[in-house]
Amino acid sequence: MAAEPWHLAAAFMAGIGLGAVYLWALWVLVRRLPLTRYGGLWLVGSAFLRIGLLLAAFYLVANGNPLNLLACLLGFVATRFAATRWVSKDADKRHITS
């Protein structure tokens, strides 16, 4: 059941990529919501699609090994924290008044 280090590194990098794609898709949706007629339907449908694809990708990356799944999840969460920090710093720069 032991995973090789390069498998864990690859799973972590896959998690980073999955997190980036997931957050990018969410950002695109939120930017386009005001322009759509059925915003709630788009929001719910997109959430199901994004989560379904994400879970399928986690399953494929895990390949039956819980350590691979854990490494992938850590990469995904790391991307989420990095994106949140990046966006909050960008927002702070826009709201600074002198």
Does the pLDDT of residue 58 top 80, yes or no? yes
Give the integer Cα–Cα distance in Å for 93 and 98: 11
Residue spans per domain, the chain: 14-88
- Rounded to 10 degrees, the C-alpha dihedral 61/65/66/67 comes to -80
Does the pLDDT of residue 39 top 70, yes or no? yes
Does the pLDDT of residue 22 top 60, yes or no? yes
95: phi then psi, degrees, rounded to nearest 5? -105, 5
Does the pLDDT of residue 1 top 70, yes or no? no
Q: Could you tell me if 75 and 12 are in contact, meaning their C-beta atoms sit under 8 angstroms apart?
A: yes
Summarize pLDDT for 76-97 with one digit per residue, the tens: 999 999 998 888 876 666 665 5
Q: How many CA atoms lie within 13 A of 57 on its CB side?
A: 21
Length of the chain: 98
